[in-house]
Amino acid sequence: MNVRAYAKINIGLHVLGKRPDGYHNIETVFRLIDLYDELEFVQDDEGISFTSDSPVLVNDDTNLCIRAAHLLRELTGIHMGVEITLKKRIPLGSGLGGGSSDAAAVLKGLTKLWALDISTEELQTVSATLGSDVPFFFTSQTAFATGRGELLAPFALQIPYWILVVTPDIHVSTLWAYSNMRLKQVPSRTDLRELLQTAINKPELLRTSLTNDFEQTVFREFGDIAKLKETLLKEGADVALMSGSGSSVFAFFSSEVKAKRLSSELSKRYFVSLTEPQFKPEIN
């Protein structure tokens, strides 16, 4: 059995403040894009095994796929095993949620493979122990997220742009980004969900209103990411913004010609993906 694990972008990200538990409260909009890892599941009586075509991923209990499989066995008391094979396409440390999406895919895939009597809602709830954004990958294509990112309000959003995502060969630690950012008191900001629902066809308003609070910190340390955003805007992007804590930067293009031309040019130096307007993922 095979399951796709789609990447996401953050269309805006507000960091509201540090919580008593050490995490931060945020507001963001998650959106799936046309880039995915593929996971294959084969039932096995010998326990849980994991292999990947990525030489960077380790095969131990720090691996999110293995942790997700163990979590499901502990939750249900089942003792079945599985061979998990991952075809990795989403860049690591890119702000695109690849590890979290893979973990969610393991929970969904094994629930089917092992014919478990557990609801999607239950899986979504327990998945937050694996990572704050893992629950999103059990929802729809778009969701407004609050809390640590685990409190989700899915909503419909038609994006009329080509979405070009460009990932430089830079790894930005989310922990480092949170530790080094300078929180600012902002009197009031437009609700991201409301902004996107009312102004998605007004690129000039999106360009001035959409913000990612990590950009100042990350750009100060990694100038090449800032230059990448500048390049996208200079080359005709209607909107450009860093996703998550980086290092990926995404851009909205009204022009298919410009999006495809720039995608081809930038692919010589960076990892790129292109999502067409009205894209709909194959949700498992």
pLDDT digits (tens, 9 = 90+) for 80-99: 999 999 999 999 989 999 99
Q: In Å, what is the CA distance from 179 to each residue of 86, 97, 183, 226, 248? A: 31, 19, 10, 20, 19
117 is catalytic: no
The residue with tokens 């979504």 is 124
The pLDDT assigned to 23 comes to 85
Q: Catalytic residue among 37, 102, 108, 133, which?
A: 133
More confident residue, 46 or 42: 42
Percent of the chain predicted with pLDDT > 70: 98
CB of 51 closer than 8 Å to CB of 59: yes
H or E element, residue 123: helix 120-127
End-to-end CA distance of the chain: 11
The listed CATH number (3.30.360.10, 3.30.70.890, 3.60.9.10, 3.40.640.10) that belongs to domain 162-275? 3.30.70.890
114 pLDDT more than 80: yes
Q: Which one of 8, 88, 108, 229 is the catalytic residue? A: 8
Per-residue confidence at 185, pLDDT binned at 50, 70, 90?
Answer: low
Contacts of residue 10, defined as CB under 8 A and 6 or more positions apart, other chains included, come to: 28, 29, 30, 31, 95, 212, 243, 244
Average pLDDT, the chain: 94
CATH number, domain 2-152: 3.30.230.10
pLDDT band with cut points at 50, 70 and 90 for residue 284: low
Domain-by-domain residue ranges, the chain? 2-152, 162-275
Confidence of residue 171 (pLDDT cuts 50, 70, 90): very high
Q: Is the pLDDT of residue 17 over 90?
A: no
CA 22 to chain centre: 22
What pLDDT is attached to residue 248?
Answer: 98
pTM greater than the 0.85 cutoff: yes
Check: CB of residue 96 under 8 Å from CB of residue 7. Answer: yes
Distance (Å, whole) CA 233 – CA 99: 29
pLDDT at residue 186 greater than cutoff 80:
no
CA distance readout (Å), 148 to 44, 75, 81, 186: 35, 23, 32, 19
In the annotation, is 8 catalytic?
yes
